[in-house]
Amino acid sequence: MSQTPSSRPTIRDVAKHAGVSKSLVSLVLSDPSKVSSLRRSRVEDSIRELGYQPNLAARSLVSENRHAIGVVLGELHNPWVLEVAEVVREQLQAAGFDVLFSAAAIHDGQGIGPAELQALRDLRVSGILVVGSADDAVSFESVLGETPSVFVGSGRESQANTAVVSVDDAQGFDLVIDHLVGRGHVQITHISGGAGPVAALRESAYHRAMQRHSLSQHVQVVEAGPSLQSGYESVRQILASGARPDALACFNDLCAFGVIQALDEAGVDTAVTGYDNISLSSLKRISLTSVDSDFQDMGRSSARLLLQLMRNPHGKFSRQLMISPRLIVRSSSQ
């Protein structure tokens, strides 16, 4: 049986082709273990021959998407989010799940809100994984309900039915400040990530690291943001004030790229460090010293944690996983 180029085979077409009922085809799609191997093979052969593709959204209106997991991506301008998400996708698909992506609209660094989570929950996915900053001021529990969820790099605490995978920002900024002080720098300014829970955590880590080196009198924070443009504008602000810090410790790598560009244009030689160690940071023309949060480990760990939470939502295991970072030293801080 052939289909015209413009037609799309339906579940009714599959049932007719296989000589079975629509309900049996539905059972093969939703719970194949309940169908005998002979009849299941007949239905699967018809699916392949007709090129039938289940509509996940339509199926979710009548039943739970037990084989689908939703992944919300925030901060799409930040390659780190995409790098983590790709590892997550590989891990979840290897475990036999479909992955449905949703891109969050982030404004002013406030982080992922509840709307993106609600959209995926409405599709009745088996679990939700959030990559990127999530606003801790928003109560996600009423939105998520009983859906197991994992937040990656969100800056929030784990709560009911949720788990968190994050990088140890205190250790990360200890590494940065230790390195810069070891290079003889004292006037170390932090270029912040603006609003949002992750920016607040990293700024606090900067303050503690400076205090540990008895450099509290040299603490300076320039409000910026997580983007290249915000880093660029922060340097223009610093230079306009007449300040000349020894080093600039940036919220993330994108911000640091903007900082480096502005310093180059002004002909000012200042040490610069970033955070996240995205792939672009290793390019020879950039060569950015950065805190490596190991996106491979974060992606694998978050996927495993979500699968564990889905299998045993009330199990007694840690819901808060902290990844230890390392500092990758390159020429930007030499």
Q: What average pLDDT does range 32-55 have in this prediction?
A: 84
As a whole number of angstroms, the distance between CA 94 and CA 98 comes to 10
What is the reported pTM? 0.76
As a whole number of angstroms, the distance between CA 309 and CA 311 comes to 5
Q: What average pLDDT does range 24-50 have in this prediction?
A: 85
Domain ranges of the chain: 11-54, 65-168+295-324, 169-293+328-333
Q: Report yes or no: 125 and 68 within 8 Å, Cβ to Cβ.
A: yes
pLDDT in tens, 267-288: 999 999 999 999 999 999 999 9
Tell me: domain 11-54, CATH 1.10.10, correct? no
Angle formed by the axes of helices 11-18 and 22-30, to 10°?
110
How much is the mean pLDDT over the chain? 86
- In CATH terms, the superfamily for domain 65-168+295-324 is Response regulator (3.40.50.2300)
pLDDT in tens, 109-141: 455 666 666 777 777 788 889 898 766 545 566
Same fold: 11-54 with 169-293+328-333: no
Tokens 């007694």 locate to 316
Predicted pLDDT at 313: 78
